[in-house]
């Protein structure tokens, strides 16, 4: 890495990572990789209640992770920036390396 990470960037990245630090929110982002989805499609995909799906989406929207458009009474969500796509790509690559045995998954807090 040629450039040192700035304190500003580290704070912003940390904020995004905190929001994405919940498995259900990561599942939403992974689902949205395939394109824009309605709240009901996301709810069905996660097998959660509509209010819970909406809560996840509102939280991610307030942090700039997802964006939405409204069509009548239906809200359609999509990933807000290429930065989020890259984070998901990194998580996916890590999973592949762990599954292939190339990397060992560190389990923090377990001994």
The pLDDT tens digits of the residues spanning 13-72 come to 999 999 999 999 999 999 999 999 999 999 999 999 999 999 999 999 999 999 999 999
Domain count for the chain: 1
CATH number at residue 47: 1.10.10.10
Band of residue 105 on the pLDDT scale cut at 50, 70, 90: confident
Q: Are 94 and 86 in contact (CB under 8 A)?
A: no
The pLDDT tens digits of the residues spanning 91-101 come to 999 999 989 98
Parent domain of 47: 7-100
Q: Distance of CA 96 to CAs 6, 37, 89, 105, Å?
A: 29, 26, 11, 11
Q: Is residue 48 part of a domain?
A: yes
């Amino acid at each position: 890495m040629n450039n040192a990470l700035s304190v500003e960037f580290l704070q912003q990245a940390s904020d995004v990572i905190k929001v994405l630090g919940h498995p259900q929110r990561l599942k939403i982002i992974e689902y949205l990789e395939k394109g824009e989805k309605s709240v009901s499609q996301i709810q069905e995909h996660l097998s959660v209640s509509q209010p819970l799906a909406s809560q996840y989406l509102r939280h991610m929207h307030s942090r700039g992770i997802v964006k939405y458009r409204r069509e009548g009474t239906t809200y359609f969500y999509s990933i807000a920036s290429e930065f989020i796509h890259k984070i998901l790509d990194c998580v996916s690559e890590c999973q592949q390396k762990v599954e292939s045995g190339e990397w060992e998954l560190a389990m923090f807090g377990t001994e």
